[in-house]
A and B are shown apart, each in its own frame.
Chain A
Amino acid sequence: MARIPTICPFCGCGCSMYLVVDGGRVTGVEPSPANPINKGMLCAKGWNAFEFVHSPDRLTKPLVRKNGVLTESTWDEALDLVCSRLTGIRDTHGPDALGFLCSAKCTNEENYLLMKLARSAFRTNNVDHCARL
């Protein structure tokens, strides 16, 4: 059994918690006792934050729409398609025909890379995230 330090995925308080891992599965949550934000506490959302992790309806394979239907695909095919379609649209309609939405749920590193992808690879500043909503 291992205890891995993580941050609650819900609100902006950023409570720190350990995920209890047993046999490759998350089996529980323990609040960090010394972290200055939550000091050993969590709210009901935090206490149950791990439950959706092993949900049976998680997405597990890349899907590509073929003849109108989402169809299982490989990473190679899906990423190839993403690159060729985005590049094609940029070449035909210009960089500002593309938009990128970062995420208030993803990490800093991930948001940085997506911002870099938009600005460096595609030359567009159409970059935003949903949290202004």
Chain B
Amino acid sequence: MAGLAAAFGSGAMTNSIGEFEDADLFFVIGSNTTAQHPLIGTRIINAVERGAKLLLFDPREIQLAPFASLHLRQNFGTDVALVNGMMNIIIQEDLYDRPYVESRTEGFDELKALVSRYTPKVVEQITGVRSADLYRAAVMYAQADKAMIVYAMGITQHVTGTDNVKTLANLAMLTGHVGRHSTGVNPLRGQNNVQGACDMGGLPGVFTGYQRVNDPASVQKFEKAWETTGLNTKPGLTITGMVEAAHSGSLKALYVMGENPLLSDPDLTHAEHALGNLDFLVVQDIFLTETAALADVILPAACFAEKDGTYTNTERRVQLSRKAVEPPGQARADWEIVSELLSRLGCCGTYPDTESIMREINALTPSYAGITYRRLASGYGLQWPCPNEEHPGTVFLHRDQFTKGKGTFLPCEFRPPAEAPDEEFDLTLTTGRIYYQFHTGTMSRRIEILEREAPQPVLEINPEDAKRYGIRTNDLVEVESRRGSIRLKAEVTTRVPRKVLFTTFHFAESPVNRLTTSAFDPVSEIPELKGCAVKIRRCS
């Protein structure tokens, strides 16, 4: 988010899912698309079958690999160096879009100076990608007419996550692959309303529509609408900051709506201690999650099928979902619970239904102003920005100019991962998702057929490493990092390269986040869930 917003003025996916059909090339990095976003994965495969090219960067042999024109298996955490190397080749070979760079961007000279140090030789040393392959990748991307960059958590969950994103934005601007149909920089959001939670101001520094809490005009607008004065103008803590503050004792109470931070948080033991340290924890959820089990008050909530409301998907499309059945027992919709709290606390506004809440959002949020229930009820959703009721919505962003005017090149140096393997902890563990389970498993593990397909976590290990440690498929192994250890079954496979282990974070019985580090990106404060140094042994 932070990386794209700095370069373009908006952190959202620039283009749309429908545009995948017309692209000539996909540059997929840090996204196991077929597992995490199955229907987008299908679109990429269909496009490849009609002749589009797929340029895949992933250390693992993921399901998309057989469809790739070129699959580069870079070393873990070296994406910035890799993409800088591509840009260097593109500039050296004069393959960049000069008119676009001159008319629509700023900062080219700084970019050129920085990437010139990333010669193919240097890049090969850092990333393990051979010069010839790097060259092919650079030429393929630069020469494609319509190229879409697609990425997910594999890019952002690093200490250099923001740099990774800025570097991808640099590449897209350099080649003029943004602001047109079937191009752009396209982050795929992991859960169904990540985009919406951000759009609605579920972030420490902004109200709805990214209006800053320290911008006097925005503050005034919200104070007027909320019939109040004296709103706090200092940006607050991120979740990472809140966990720290709970740990140190300055955060006393936490209100958690529909999340299970205990299982999704990095360095689980640390998070557990932090939550245990609170004076008061409220959890509003549909199941007794690991986090809820620690709560002082649990408020039973309705699930998606039991309430009205809108969700904003990864391509900025706001869609209306309707109530199908009543919630069980006394459970209530989250909006009803919070609206009751608002009125008990004397805040303005009464909300008989969700449409009345959307009207308040429309009035306060320029990009959502035209997104009304009346329009949503009769179509297939509306993509923001949608500034008025006549506006059809926006398929792709940055058409004639960037949201912020000129796009800014933000060149970044390569920085190694926070925790490199050493003599004792000699392997890198990376985490991800699998097709049959979802996030922390709160919902998907209660679905019988998904649970049957993928009932337990496995640890993927390369045959060479497996041989060294005397490990065979189905052996029970113990994986240990500086923070803790877990036990799980091994699967020996060439899907992972040497020195790299892979597993998922869906399963509470072997919570991989007991191992991961809470080192985080200094800008986005997204933790480095994607890698930590570990050692392994076979359990006897």
Contact = CB atoms under 8 A, between A and B. Distances in A.
Contacts of B37: 11-13
Nearest to B299: A62
A2 B360 CA distance: 31
Interface in B423-439: 435-436, 438
A132 B520 CA distance: 11
A12 B257 CA distance: 19
B443 interface: yes
A100 to B, nearest CB: 5
Contacts of A55: 287, 446
Contacts of A2: 324
Given A107-B354, A121-B347, A127 B17 contact: no
B192 A12 contact: yes
Given A101-B256, A106-B193, A117-B345, 8 more contacts: A12-B189, A45-B38, A60-B329, A63-B298, A80-B344, A82-B297, A89-B279, A104-B259
A60 B323 contact: no
Nearest to B525: A132
A53 B306 contact: yes
Contact of B312 (A24, A70, A108, A128): A108
B194 A104 contact: yes
B331 interface: yes
B232 A129 contact: no
B258 A103 contact: yes
A130 B297 contact: no
A119 B340 contact: no
Interface of B: 1, 17-18, 36-40, 42, 156-157, 188-205, 207-208, 213, 222, 226, 228, 230-232, 234-242, 245-246, 250-261, 264-266, 279-280, 282, 285-288, 292, 295-301, 303-315, 317-326, 328-335, 337-342, 344-347, 349, 351, 354, 357-358, 360-361, 380-381, 435-436, 438, 443-444, 446-450, 453, 524-527, 529
B262 to A, nearest CB: 10
B287 A98 contact: no
Among B189, B239, B256, B448, the most chain A Cβ lie within 10 Å of the Cβ of B239
A110 B86 CA distance: 43
A70 B297 CA distance: 8
Nearest to A60: B329
A57 B324 contact: no
Contacts of B196: 104, 107-108, 111
B441 to A, nearest CB: 10
A103 B252 contact: no
B311 A107 contact: yes
A16 B315 CA distance: 14
Interface string A76-89: 00111111011101
A97 B251 contact: yes
A35 B127 CA distance: 41
B39 A38 contact: yes
Contacts of A48: 447, 449-450
A95 to B, nearest CB: 6
A57 B192 CA distance: 23
Contact of A129 (B202, B213, B306, B326): B202
Contact of B304 (A9, A83, A129): A9
